[in-house]
């Protein structure tokens, strides 16, 4: 099936930033959020607080290295909260910040569209 080309509506306002530009100050965070593992981590954490091992088990195919890197990046971006509890053995929990919940709410319609689109193509 050939992909459809749709011209943007004349009334569509321009984006408030130019993510396509290499010097866009928002581009790095855009890439963090929309990366393969970034989206999956954000969506999984939108269901509630998870320990590292629980999160890793819930995302098939993610390596320990990629999960750790993604969590550090999203934490630095202010989207994920890491809480190390003072117990033995160490217990670390991850959850979304208010901004993390906000970005997931904005990603959800895209993910819903994707689900519908893939089902329609089959």
Residue ranges per structural domain of the chain: 27-121
pLDDT computed for residue 24 by the predictor: 78
| Residues 91, 11: Cα–Cα separation, whole Å | 51
Check: CATH 2.60.40.1260 for 27-121? no
Question: Residue 39: how many CB atoms within 10 A of its CB?
Answer: 18
Q: How much is the average pLDDT of 43-49?
A: 97
| Residues 106, 3: Cα–Cα separation, whole Å | 25
pLDDT > 90? residue 42: yes
pLDDT > 70? residue 65: yes
Task: Take residue 4 and report the two structure tokens written for it.
Answer: 């459809």
pLDDT computed for residue 6 by the predictor: 54
Q: How much is the average pLDDT of 8-13?
A: 54
Band of pLDDT at residue 5, cut at 50, 70 and 90? low
Task: Take residue 30 and report the two structure tokens written for it.
Answer: 């855009």
Asked if residues 95 and 42 have their Cβ atoms less than 8 Å apart, the reply is: no
Global pTM value: 0.80
Q: How much is the average pLDDT of 45-61?
A: 96
pLDDT computed for residue 13 by the predictor: 54
Q: How much is the average pLDDT of 16-23?
A: 69
pLDDT computed for residue 107 by the predictor: 94
Q: How much is the average pLDDT of 33-49?
A: 96
| Residues 38, 121: Cα–Cα separation, whole Å | 26
- Residue 40, helix vs strand vs coil: helix
| Residues 105, 45: Cα–Cα separation, whole Å | 12
pLDDT tens for 70-90 read: 999 999 999 999 999 999 888
């Amino acid at each position: 099936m050939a992909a459809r080309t749709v011209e943007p509506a004349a009334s569509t306002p321009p984006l408030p930033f130019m993510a396509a530009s290499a010097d866009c100050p928002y581009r790095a965070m855009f890439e963090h959020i929309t990366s393969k593992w970034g989206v999956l981590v954000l969506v999984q954490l939108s269901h509630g607080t998870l320990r590292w091992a629980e999160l890793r088990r819930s995302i098939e195919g993610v390596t320990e290295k990629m999960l750790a890197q993604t969590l550090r990046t999203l934490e630095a971006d202010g989207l994920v909260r890491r809480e190390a509890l003072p117990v033995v053995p160490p217990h670390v929990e991850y959850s979304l910040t208010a901004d993390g919940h906000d970005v997931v709410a904005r990603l959800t319609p895209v993910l819903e569209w994707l689900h519908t689109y893939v089902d329609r193509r089959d």
